[in-house]
Amino acid sequence: MEYDVIIIGAGPGGIFSAYELMKKSPETRVAVFEEGNTLEKRKCPIDGKKVKSCIKCPTCAIMNGFGGAGAFSDGKYNITNDFGGTLYEYIGRDQSID
């Protein structure tokens, strides 16, 4: 398979680059390569009992994978309610942006 654009990393930067390219230039063949796991498989093994600290996984479930370091954002810095946490569910959309 040949691509016009290859994006390395499916963090917010990679995902939105691909999204904008698809919107503005649908004929462009874009591939996004990500070394980490899919969202569903991003589970840190630290459970506080058996695994108490970092065991240096090949790719870090917290920092790497689809969604990048922002996938499990704690949402304390909100620039939008559309992604990056669910603070708005607790205090409302307007207050969360304020």
Ligand X SMILES: Cc1cc2nc3c(=O)[nH]c(=O)nc-3n(C[C@H](O)[C@H](O)[C@H](O)COP(=O)(O)OP(=O)(O)OC[C@H]3O[C@@H](n4cnc5c(N)ncnc54)[C@H](O)[C@@H]3O)c2cc1C
Binding site for ligand X (CB under 6 A): 8-14, 33-36, 64-65, 68-70, 73-77, 79, 84
Smallest separation, CB 85 to ligand X (Å): 6
Smallest separation, CB 52 to ligand X (Å): 19
Report helix, strand or coil for 41: helix
Identity of the residue, 18 or 70, whose beta carbon is nearer to ligand X in the bound complex: 70
Written as one letter, the residue type at 98 is: D
Among residues 4, 23, 20, the alpha carbon closest in space to that of 12 is found at 20
Strands (E), the chain: 5-8, 30-33
Identity of the residue, 4 or 35, whose beta carbon is nearer to ligand X in the bound complex: 35
Smallest separation, CB 62 to ligand X (Å): 7
